[in-house]
Amino acid sequence: DGSSQCDIIAGGVDGSGVFKGLYVSGVHLAALLRTFQLSKVFLPVETATPVTALGQSLQDGIPLVIVTRGCFGRPLDYGSGPVRNDIQAAVWDAARTMRAEMPQVLVSCIDVPNNVGSEVIQACLEPPLNEYRELMFHDGTWYTPAVHNASSLAKWMSQNERMGGAKDKGVNFARKKFDWNSAPFANQWTLGWKSVLEVRPPAPVPIRTDLNFTEDAAKLAVTSMPLTGPSSAECTFQKSLAKARESGDVKELLLAAKFYLSRAAPREK
């Protein structure tokens, strides 16, 4: 179910470009949610010293980076086709709640595809990506959540209602809606993504040019397949002729010639 596809990065890059901190790969979501408690009492007793001090380090202001994979739907996910992992989406909601309750804790959430290595995630610890708390990597570009006005979308949805169920018997009519009686849609908003940094250009998508079925399409000259080899009737006649010669039967020879003449093509001599 993709529950073990999370990483925890606690630390940062110093002035010399060396990473100092803790990087835990392949963490189960249960361990990740325990890390959100920001207390060492929720960790096992035999935990190593860097992990035990993680709770106090978070209180002191050490940055915490949470890496999820396939949270917003990608190819190469844990299922067939683009699949959203609802369990990992709850991790993002928990991180947002933690930022609101404890602003001194620097928690960042990053979502990448399953086939992305750690060299791509390393760029999140350097400017300008380290200034964002939520990032998504897709098709060579980093994105961050953004709020967009959705007044036109809300108006279109109100004017194109999909009424379900069968209508009752009797007279049914639709009342005309006036503009002055319509609800305002200026306060409708939606959450989207905006581009932050382009690491590499997206891969070009191959486009087929041989699927033009309009009248202006070029007419292809269709020719028949050249038939230069012997036909099936001729091959059968050669086998019957060799068998008749071995047996010395004249009737079998005449019968083979009779069947060949009835099946021979006009081009055969």
Q: Please report, in tens digits, the pLDDT of each residue of the chain (269 residues total).
A: 455 666 777 666 677 777 766 677 776 666 666 665 544 444 444 445 555 555 566 666 667 788 888 777 654 455 555 566 666 777 888 888 888 887 777 888 998 887 787 788 888 888 888 889 899 998 889 999 999 888 888 888 877 766 545 555 566 656 665 555 456 777 888 888 899 998 888 777 777 777 777 776 667 677 777 767 777 888 888 888 888 888 888 888 888 888 888 887 776 76
pTM: 0.52
The pLDDT value given to residue 50: 53
Secondary structure, 3-state, the chain: CCCCCEEEEEEEECCCCCEEEEEEEEECHHHHHHHCCCCHHHCCCCCCHHHHCHHHHHHHCCCEEEEEECCCCCCCCCCCCCCCCHHHHHHHHHHHHHHHHCCCCCEEEEEECCCCCHHHHHHHHCCCHHHCCEEEEECCEEEEEEEEECHHHHHHHHHCCCCCCCCCCCCCCCCCCCHHHCCCCCCCEEEEEEEEEECCCCCCCCCCCCCCCCCCCCCCCCCCCCCCCCCHHHHHHHHHHHHHHHHCCHHHHHHHHHHHHHHCCCCCC
